[in-house]
């Protein structure tokens, strides 16, 4: 074997090693992001469609990630997979996370961390595989609250949330658990809603969600509806009718 052929073989080996290193980094990054999102969505009510949709997207992201890994070993073209990830799966997930934050399900800090990591992942794929740069996730193209879209992760990084991989060693590090103060505030609001509902039922035989909303106009009708349903589930109230025509009254055991 002449020197030129040896040199070509060495170059090919180096390229292969570099590609393998990138794929492993990409897989680990994708796994950590997916794990963090799965834990984060625990804060979204189980019956909320957003939770199911975000988790479905996460599973799609993982599936495509391992499809890229397999294709890199077999030499198959991955452009179609990368196109779907960068133009559909990642942008849609970012948009849904922004909506979850705007709806009050997840905190600004957690949203900021995950959204920026998803953007970084999209940029990484575009730069590596040469996908059209117009497909990069941009703030203008997504439903993300303005204050969140302009938020940088610089402070989060400086506080040590990210290691070299730009993600915490475990997804749980991302999630900020509610403080005692937050918990007390939630309980206070819940008690306020329930007191207003029970006070109304002391003057009326049955009420609807709009009746409660008159007494508590600073809460949305959906929030009050959820509270009424919880009280029914706990045996405090009984319900007659469906949806907007539902009427609630005190359960006999509560009288």
SS3 138: coil
Q: Domain span at residue 9? A: 3-177
CATH number (domain holding residue 240):
1.10.10.10
Q: Are 152 and 142 in contact (CB under 8 A)?
A: no
Q: Are residues 107 and 209 in the same domain?
A: no
19 Cβ contact partners less than 8 Å away, ≥ 6 residues apart: 72
Number of domains, the chain: 2
Q: Are residues 185 and 171 in the same domain?
A: no
Confidence class for position 71, pLDDT limits 50, 70, 90: confident
Dist CA 126 CA 136 (whole Å): 7
Q: Are residues 160 and 63 in the same domain?
A: yes
Domain end residue (candidates: 159, 177, 195): 177
For residue range 10-67, what is the model confidence (pLDDT) as tens digits?
443 444 445 778 888 888 999 999 999 999 899 899 899 999 999 999 999 999 989 8
Q: Are residues 146 and 206 in the same domain?
A: no
The answer, as to whether pTM is greater than 0.75, is no
What Å distances lie between residue 161 and 15, 105, 152, 165, 197, CA to CA? 32, 21, 13, 11, 43
């Amino acid at each position: 074997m002449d020197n030129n052929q040896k040199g070509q073989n060495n170059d090919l080996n180096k390229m292969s090693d570099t590609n393998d290193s990138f794929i492993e980094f990409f897989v680990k990054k994708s796994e950590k992001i997916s794990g963090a999102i799965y834990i984060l969505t625990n804060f979204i009510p189980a019956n909320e469609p957003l939770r199911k949709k975000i988790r479905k997207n996460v599973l799609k992201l993982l599936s495509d990630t391992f499809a890229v890994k397999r294709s890199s070993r077999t030499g198959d073209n991955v452009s179609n997979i990368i196109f779907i990830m960068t133009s559909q799966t990642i942008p849609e997930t970012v948009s849904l996370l922004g909506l979850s934050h705007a709806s009050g399900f997840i905190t600004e800090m957690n949203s900021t961390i995950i959204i920026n990591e998803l953007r970084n992942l999209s940029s990484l794929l575009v730069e590596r595989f040469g996908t059209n740069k117009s497909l990069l996730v941009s703030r203008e193209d997504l439903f993300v609250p303005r204050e969140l879209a302009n938020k940088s992760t610089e402070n989060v990084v400086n506080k040590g949330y990210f290691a070299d991989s730009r993600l915490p060693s475990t997804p749980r590090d991302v999630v900020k658990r509610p403080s005692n103060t937050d918990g007390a505030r939630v309980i206070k609001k819940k008690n306020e809603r329930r007191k207003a509902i029970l006070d109304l039922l002391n003057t009326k035989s049955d009420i609807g969600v709009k009746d409660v909303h008159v007494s508590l106009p600073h809460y949305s009708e959906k929030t009050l509806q959820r509270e009424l349903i919880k009280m029914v589930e706990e045996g405090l109230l009984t319900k007659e009718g469906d949806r907007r025509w539902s009427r609630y009254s005190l359960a006999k055991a509560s009288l």
